[in-house]
């Protein structure tokens, strides 16, 4: 049960580039709370100034989050409302706030989401990859071995895979995607809602080649989306190419089982999924 006299923690999404994406509700909440807990007070201070607002702020980042819980809770119990913001997008999504929200919820406080921009949702909404099921993985490990290990562990997942990536590692990540997941379709959403917003679409190897030709394509912030394993992952886009490969394998005299093994290796995904598709092709469907 919530204590009705206590204040609320508002978890407020802020723009990921275009300041016009801040909702009127978010602006109102930010203007009314007693204090704003921000990942970086200087960064969020600029947003508040842009809105013509001035509220007390305190920092809340991964290194002090646990230590801040009691003091923030005491303010809620005293009836104050608090807003939580991160540098960009939705707090807790690859950003601080999880420990605070978990602890305050365990203490029965009222936690109110104020939804808005989120890079992964914006990227998925415009990528043209299946969105009925997706697997958000945040940032991949920084070290090559660990990164490839994580990708290998995801190789059989049929959901669209979604990652956040920085410009420092985007080329390494694409190279590792090519070696671990093969020639699947990758969509890169870069600089969403900003002046140089770009969507690149192709295999990881093709996207690397695009970055060689035009190094600007490797600058900025990225959401990396990868087709899930097996026939459903690529939906329509590579169906024709996949069917051409499968038909060629059958025409070369490979059995359905062997062809499924080759398809899984080249296109990624589970042999079982390719087996069904090959059987249908063989039967002329």
| Site residues (vs ligand SAM, CB under 6 A) | 16-17, 86, 88-90, 93-95, 118-120, 164-166, 189, 191-194, 221-223
6 vs 84, beta carbon nearer ligand SAM: 84
Give the nearer residue to ligand SAM in terms of CB position, either 93 or 270: 93
In the complex, the smallest distance separating the C-beta of residue 190 from ligand SAM, rounded to whole angstroms, is 6
The residue among 190 and 232 lying less far from ligand SAM, judged by its C-beta, is 190
CB contact at 8 A, 221 and 166:
yes
Nearer to ligand SAM, 174 or 263 (CB): 174
- Decide whether 76 or 84 has the Cβ nearer to ligand SAM: 84
Q: How far apart are CA 234 and CA 74, in angstroms?
A: 51
Which residue sits closest to ligand SAM, CB atoms considered? 89
Give the three-class secondary structure for 159: coil
Q: Please report how close the Cβ of residue 13 comes to ligand SAM at its closest, in angstroms.
A: 7
**DSSP H or E stretch at residue 85:** strand 82-85
Could you give the CA distance from residue 176 to residue 144 in angstroms, rounded to a whole number?
A: 8
Q: What angle do CA 100, 125, 37 make, to 5 degrees?
A: 20
d(CA 117, CA 278): 41
Minimum separation from the CB atom of position 174 to ligand SAM (A): 14
CB of 240 to ligand SAM, least distance (A): 29
The two beta strands, 82-85 and 35-38, are: parallel
| Minimum distance, C-beta of residue 36 to ligand SAM, in the bound complex (Å) | 16
Our measurement of the distance from residue 42's CA atom to the centroid of its chain's CA atoms, rounded to an integer in Å, reads 25
């Amino acid at each position: 049960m919530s204590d009705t006299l206590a204040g609320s923690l508002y978890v407020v999404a802020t723009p990921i580039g275009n300041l016009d994406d801040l909702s009127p509700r978010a602006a109102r909440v930010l203007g009314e709370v007693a204090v704003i807990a921000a990942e970086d007070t200087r960064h969020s201070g600029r947003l508040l100034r842009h809105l013509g607002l001035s509220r007390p702020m305190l920092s809340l980042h991964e290194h002090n989050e646990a230590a801040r819980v009691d003091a923030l809770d005491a303010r809620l119990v005293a009836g104050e409302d608090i807003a939580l913001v991160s540098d960009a997008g939705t707090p807790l999504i690859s950003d601080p706030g999880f420990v605070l929200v978990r602890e305050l919820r365990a203490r029965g406080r009222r936690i109110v989401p104020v939804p808005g921009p989120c890079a992964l949702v914006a990227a998925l909404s415009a990528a043209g990859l299946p969105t009925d099921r997706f697997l958000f993985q945040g940032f991949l490990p920084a070290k090559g071995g660990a990164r490839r290990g994580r990708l290998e562990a995801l190789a059989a997942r049929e959901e669209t895979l979604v990652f956040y990536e920085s410009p420092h590692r985007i080329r390494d990540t694409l190279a590792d995607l090519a070696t671990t997941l093969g020639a699947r379709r990758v969509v890169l959403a870069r600089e969403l809602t900003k002046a140089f917003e770009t969507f690149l679409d192709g295999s990881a190897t093709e996207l690397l080649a695009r970055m060689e030709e035009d190094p600007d394509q490797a600058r900025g912030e990225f959401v990396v989306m990868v087709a899930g394993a097996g026939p459903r992952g690529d939906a329509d886009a590579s169906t024709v190419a996949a069917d051409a490969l499968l038909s060629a394998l059958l025409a070369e005299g490979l059995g359905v089982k062997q062809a499924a093994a080759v398809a899984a290796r080249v296109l990624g995904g589970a042999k079982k999924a390719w087996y069904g598709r090959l059987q249908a092709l063989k039967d002329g469907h």
